[in-house]
Amino acid sequence: MSVIVAPSILAADYLNLADQIQLVEKAGAKYLHIDIMDGDFVPSISYGPEWVKQIKASGSQLALDVHLMVNHPEKIVDVFAKAGADIIGVHVEATAHIHRVLQMIKNAGSRAEVVINPGTPVSSILPILYMVDQVLVMTVNPGFGGQKFLPQEITKVAELNQYKKDHDLHFDIEIDGGVNDKTVIDAYKAGVTVAVAGSYVYDKLDPAAKVQKLIEVTDF
């Protein structure tokens, strides 16, 4: 078993996006991570639902893993589900109604993910863990690619993994931010099942080799 690799297109060459996606898919990636930033919940602005729609229509078999870094996600989850998002992640910090928004995602037919920032404890999501398909533990503060991995977040991964066992739950545990062939190892040992990697994969050198490397170093 190896980690499921989710390359983040935030760091890709947008003018050659179709090629960039094909490269990682052929190399063994299973998810494609799409970062949606609203310039409010996080300082940056990225792209919107039309990107999800066009990537879905491109014929890629990758599961589209849409990470909503937006305030009031309840206003837009339906739009992203309709655009073709297989997984929709919402930050617990971005809404007063996390339970409702997760229900909305599931009702719209996508897999529901809750996301926690580095400053947010696992205890804040315990009441809704029974209803999620995936939990994303941010290993940087969201908003930018290319930041340094925060190793302290691995404790949260271990905590979630223990909770899963104790309560017979089966959600995936994803990490996002600063992931490379070194930082992924301890996180994988602690229970991570899905690893997002942006700048490590799309470094303009060899995205396919980077995806293969992440799979190889977690094959134990």
Binding at 214: pick from Zn ion, ligand DX5, none (beta carbon under 5-8 Å per type): none
35 is catalytic: yes
x/- mask, Zn ion, residues 47-86, rule CB under 5 A, reads --------------------x-------------------
The DSSP annotation for 30-54 comes to -EEEEEEEBSSSSS-B---HHHHHH
* Distance, CA of 220 to CA of 209 (rounded, Å): 19
The reply to whether 89 sits near ligand DX5 by the rule CB under 6 A is no
Query: DSSP H helical segments within the chain, as ranges?
Result: 17-26, 49-57, 77-83, 98-107, 154-166, 183-190, 207-217
172 is catalytic: no
x/- mask, Zn ion, residues 17-36, rule CB under 5 A, reads ------------------x-
Of the residues 13, 35, 172, 181, only one is catalytic, namely 35
Contacts of 5 (CB under 8 A, 6+ apart): 24, 28, 29, 30, 31, 195, 197, 201, 211, 214, 215
The reply to whether 147 sits near ligand DX5 by the rule CB under 6 A is yes
For Cα atoms 125, 140, 220, give the angle at the middle one, nearest 5 degrees.
Answer: 85
The reply to whether 146 sits near ligand DX5 by the rule CB under 6 A is yes
Binding at 109: pick from Zn ion, ligand DX5, none (beta carbon under 5-8 Å per type): none
x/- mask, ligand DX5, residues 20-59, rule CB under 6 A, reads -------------x-x------------------------
Of the residues 38, 65, 172, 176, only one is catalytic, namely 176
* Phi–psi pair at 37, nearest 5 degrees: -125, 135
Query: DSSP H helical segments within 97-204, as ranges?
Result: 98-107, 154-166, 183-190
Pairing of strands 31-37, 111-116: unpaired
* Phi–psi pair at 133, nearest 5 degrees: -95, -25
Strand partners of residue 189: none
The reply to whether 7 sits near ligand DX5 by the rule CB under 6 A is no
Which position among 3, 8, 38, 153 is part of the footprint of ligand DX5 (CB under 6 A)? 8
Binding residues for substrate, as ranges, are 8, 67, 143-146, 176-178, 198-199
Binding residues, as ranges, are 8, 33, 35, 67, 143-146, 176-178, 198-199
Residues at the site binding ligand DX5, with contacts judged by CB under 6 A: 8, 10-11, 33, 35, 67, 140, 142-147, 176-179, 196-200
By annotation, the residues acting in catalysis are 35, 176
Residues at the site binding Zn ion, with contacts judged by CB under 5 A: 35, 67, 176
